[in-house]
Amino acid sequence: MQATLSEQEIVRREKLAEIQAMGIDPYPAPLFHITHTAKEIKENYTEETADKYKEVSFAGRIMSVRDMGKANFAVLQDSTGRIQVYVKRDEICTGEDKTAYDMLWKKLLDIGDIIGVRGFVFITRTGEISIHATSFTLLSKSLHPLPVVKEKDGEQFDAVTDLEFKYRQRYADLIVNPGVRDTFVKITKMKNAIRTFLNERGALEVDTPVLQSIPGGAAARPFITHHNALDMPLYLRIANELYLKRLIVGGFEWVYEFSRNFRNEGMDRTHNPEFTILEFYVAYKDYLWMMETTEQLLEQTAIATNGTSVTEVNGTSIDFKAPYARVSIYDAIKQHTGTDISDMDEDGLRDLCKKHRIDVDASMGRGKLIDELFGEMCEHHYIQPTFITDYPVEMSPLTKKHRSKPGLVERFELIINGKEIANAYSELNDPIDQRKRFEDQVALMERGDDEAMFIDHDFLRALEYGMPPTAGIGFGIERLAMLLTGNVSIQDVLFFPQMRPEKQAAVNVSIT
């Protein structure tokens, strides 16, 4: 069973059959020796360097063709950009046989086909650096037409913006929208800058399990699977925190991981069920040290990614230059609701949420209610990087109690452009206190909170061996990428975001 073919797809398959009938393999062996890229040629070719470009070998996808009868101009695109290629009938073909040009080039090739050309570089009468082809080779026949993108004078002014197309067919989106490629190149620069920062300071990159018997380290609903050989349920990790802390117990003093996490929750412009968190843990440090380190890390990463500490997101300038503002969560809620909640009990918090038309239910404890208040009433006000600090103990089951403020813990969240980007603690290393916090989470689970934490008995055993004072942090990598690339949707910084199943007409199609 196949989807219905369009008229263009049928024509391309007919051309494929003709090419094969000519004895030409439309998908030849992969080796094609490339000597130059489009970017290298266009940046370095001059009349003075022309001798270096007398023999070039280049491969790319046909993006447009301008037919001039016995000669054509085509634009080819490789991974670095686009370059014009000049193809002349009498130079491509030798002797009386003009089949290569008249049939293959002019009639059987299409926009989207991948070809290799050999020739020399020159400058056209209009001043455009181009490749004068002396031969060409079909490397891959395209059977699906590319979306039409309008261009003028080499500039694209009508990019494909259909989100269904962009996210579901990212491979085609990358071909026709060059800016998309730039986004993902920036993301790689961002990750490399983070790794460089951490590695230069002695941190060790590690890997921890994706399949876990206990979905620990965060308050989130997990995906559940089953291991047949062990006949036991397993969970896709919602966080890697508890495993990284085990490594601190084991004697490593600074570990980090780019962790692919999975949470069985809703999807929107800032949430995808599969996402990346950078977490790192450092022995003998606290959350105050972590704030300063976070400022340094993000300022250097922004500069490495964009050449400046300032980024533009939807018309708003955001500056990653240190230092960042610091506001306690109680002060933030008081500022934006007019109410001091520091001594308020669960019933009072529930009434305050209802006053501000925030949906709450009986499963929510004091910590969840405060989280809802901050999220609905405060978070969106913090556009420039701001540390929200000193959370109530009920909100932070893995965090050390505050050294001087009873009822609070040593925790901060970094808010930028109205969204949480990072979450950090002075880590709880008291195994008895940690066990009590886990038991409180179980009580919430019994009330119906499906995001409450499980008890991880092995992690408690690790703490009983002794974990040094430790600072830890987790960064939402896609959210940081959105900021540094100027995108407002998480789907724009994921190559392949999760989507609903595609609906297709299922009919038999035969091409003869």
Alpha-carbon gap, residue 253 to 266, rounded angstroms: 36
Alpha-carbon gap, residue 77 to 80, rounded angstroms: 8
Q: What one-letter code names the amino acid at 455? A: I
- Beta-carbon contacts of 178 under 8 Å, excluding residues fewer than 6 positions away, are 81, 156
Q: Do residues 311 and 320 touch, judged by C-beta distance below 8 A?
A: yes
Query: What is the SS3 assignment for 107?
Result: helix
Alpha-carbon gap, residue 343 to 162, rounded angstroms: 50
Annotation: binding site for Mg(2+)? 413, 420
- Beta-carbon contacts of 130 under 8 Å, excluding residues fewer than 6 positions away, are 73, 83, 84, 85, 86, 121, 122, 123, 124
DSSP string, 71-102: EEEEEEEETTEEEEEEEEHHHHS-TT--HIII
Question: What is the bridge-based pairing of β-strands 114-123 and 129-140?
Answer: antiparallel
* φ/ψ of residue 108, rounded to 5: -110, -15
Categorise residue 127: left if φ over 0, alpha if ψ from -120 to 50, beta otherwise.
left
- Beta-sheet strands, E only, within 263-324: 274-283, 310-313, 316-319
Alpha-carbon gap, residue 409 to 220, rounded angstroms: 20
Q: Which residue has the tokens 């019933």?
A: 347
Alpha-carbon gap, residue 182 to 493, rounded angstroms: 11
Annotation: binding site? 413, 420
Residue 472: which H helix or E strand, with range? strand 470-476
**Cβ burial, residue 322 (10 Å; 0-12/13-18/19+):** middle
DSSP state of 380: G
Length of the chain: 512
- Measuring CA to CA, how many Å separate 414 from each of 9, 374, 473, 474? 50, 13, 10, 10
Alpha-carbon gap, residue 85 to 34, rounded angstroms: 15
Q: What angle, 0 to 180 degrees and rounded to 10, lies between the N-to-C axes of helices 287-306 and 178-200?
A: 140
Q: What one-letter code names the amino acid at 49? A: T
200-225 burial: b if 16+ Cβ within 10 Å, else e: eeebeeeebeeebebbbbbbbebbee
DSSP state of 120: E
Q: Do residues 351 and 432 touch, judged by C-beta distance below 8 A?
A: no
